[in-house]
Structure 1
């Protein structure tokens, strides 16, 4: 059969090409710096100090990564980081979804007051010193749980999940109650299965926050065996930058040919070491990510 070709308006066609070019440019702006970081991480530090290393290592080496893993503390730190990320994300999702489902109930006594008090904490905080004193009174200092307990609930994520729950038809809950389901059975069998998109988004954000956090380890934990990987690398980079063997110019790089690791190359290796593992999580939640983010944002 003869098919008529749809005539495309030249203006629309030009606009579409422009949009594609803008998207490609934005992708390059994001991708090229990442390639540069990887190239510097695998390049000899003294050679990189001369400049000219862009998207491919000029003198390939693994010395930067050997320096990162040299003393073995990074391995223990990885265990702490993985443990806090897994445990913290799971407990946070459990507490957040339970609290959101409770706040969704219109017959909850003092629902508006509780919501107002929770929202109030988004605008005002006690500050670092009162927080430190509170953690001390709760015996959280120098403890693994200082990474988990204070971050169990994020008000932003709580309101986001509650908004998602409110979009689920009440008829489903009523049907579950008629079938004899109680509060927890309805929560587990009805609300959670229907909330996979928003749970995936909140879980990903929470996991990234746990993985990237270095502040709690640096200020609330003195035991180096309990430091997460971000804190260990932060301390490592601080020492490297204060080292007298620091290569800061081309002249120094030429004068210190034996120095293959600099603070800049160590930084790039640290970025790769800390970023790649959490990036591996994204493909598993990608199918839920866009939908969950949009639902939680638009209906809020």
Structure 2
């Protein structure tokens, strides 16, 4: 039999071209601002104030990054960020998955009531002051565990995981129970391996939230040794911007002082963005393959 060649109509060709153009514009809208940030981060701040730097540094320099890493507690802050990201992500995803696995069961007594309580927390909160008082009453303020314990469960993650678990065919669990598996064994050996795509997505989002969170360290931690990297860098940016405003308001000496400063608040901000984003950019390609769904296609046939 000969091959049938399908000829696209003029309208379909125009539609495909417009789709490619829209995708290209979307990619450029994401890539070009990031390239601009990289160019400004690797260019001396005083030179960058002249303008004309878009996607390539005019003068290559590491002065901005040297200023970022000159912070006294940068080592301990980096360790705190790694600890909270690693422990918080693993514990949070595992416990959320266990809770979602239980809540997706139709035979769970009071399952709908518990799901209503989970959804209720997405609509209402007690506010920052009651939240602070609660953390203080259970001795979590000024403790490294304030980064991990309050965020172990996420209502949004529970709903996503529960929805995904409901798509797993019950015949898999029935076969496992015949082989003598209990609920926990089924969860570890069947549900979790089949749920790698959604686990990877939830894990990435949780890790990024832990890594980028500066609010917790700024409001619930008093010890400088317990502040994470994002909080430390945020404080550096605030100090740099305050110094710039002070120099701009100083009469008579502002021009002499400003001429001696090579690192500006804007250049420091760009270097800080690179430092915070770089670990996420490095890790993302390693788990990208799990983002595609369809792992279970063809796994069961009735």
TM over 0.5: yes
Q: CA deviation at 1:259?
A: 1.5
**For residue 162 of structure 1, what is the aligned residue in structure 2?**
162
Q: How does 1:171-250 map to 2 (within 5 A)?
A: 171-244=171-244
After TM superposition, the structure 1 = structure 2 runs for residues 13-92 of structure 1, keeping only pairs within 5 Å, are 13-92=13-92
**1:7 Cα offset (Å):** 2.4
Structure 1: stretches of 5+ with no match in the other structure: 293-300
| Whole-angstrom CA distance in 1 between matches of 2:167 and 2:5 | 42
Deviation at 1:130, TM superposition (A): 0.5
CA distance in 2, matches of 1:166, 1:2: 45
State the match for 1:108 in structure 2: 108
Give, in whole Å, the separation in 2 of the partners of 1:91 and 1:279: 22
Alpha carbons of structure 1 residues 245 and 219: separation in structure 2 relative to 1, 3 Å: closer
TM-score when normalising by structure 2: 0.91
Q: How many equivalent pairs are there? A: 290
Q: Distance in 2 between matches of 1:145 and 1:278?
A: 23
1:236 to partner: Cα distance: 0.5
Q: 1:135 is paired with a residue of what secondary structure?
A: helix
Change (3 A) 1:171 1:16: same
* Runs of 4+ with deviation above 4 angstroms: 1-5, 244-248, 252-255
How far the C-alpha of 1:279 sits from its partner, in A, is 1.3
Shift of 1:205: 0.6
In the aligned structure 1, how far is the partner of 2:106 from the partner of 2:215? Answer: 39
Q: C-alpha offsets along residues 168-214 of structure 1, whole Å, 9 cap, x if unaligned?
A: 11111111111111111111111111111110111011001101100
What RMSD over aligned residues (CA atoms) do the two structures have, in Å?
2.1
Contact 1:101 1:162 in 2 (8 A): yes
Is 1:276 the counterpart of 2:278 in the alignment?
yes
CA distance in 2, matches of 1:226, 1:144: 6
User: Taking structure 1 as reference, are residues 61 and 162 closer, same or farther at Cα in structure 2, changes over 3 Å only?
Assistant: same
- TM-superposed CA distance for 1:244, in Å, is 4.9
| TM-score (norm. length: structure 1) | 0.91
- The equivalent of 1:152 in structure 2 is 152
Separation in structure 1 between the aligned mates of residue 225 and residue 25 of structure 2, nearest angstrom: 44
Q: C-alpha distance in 2, partners of 1:64/1:41?
A: 7
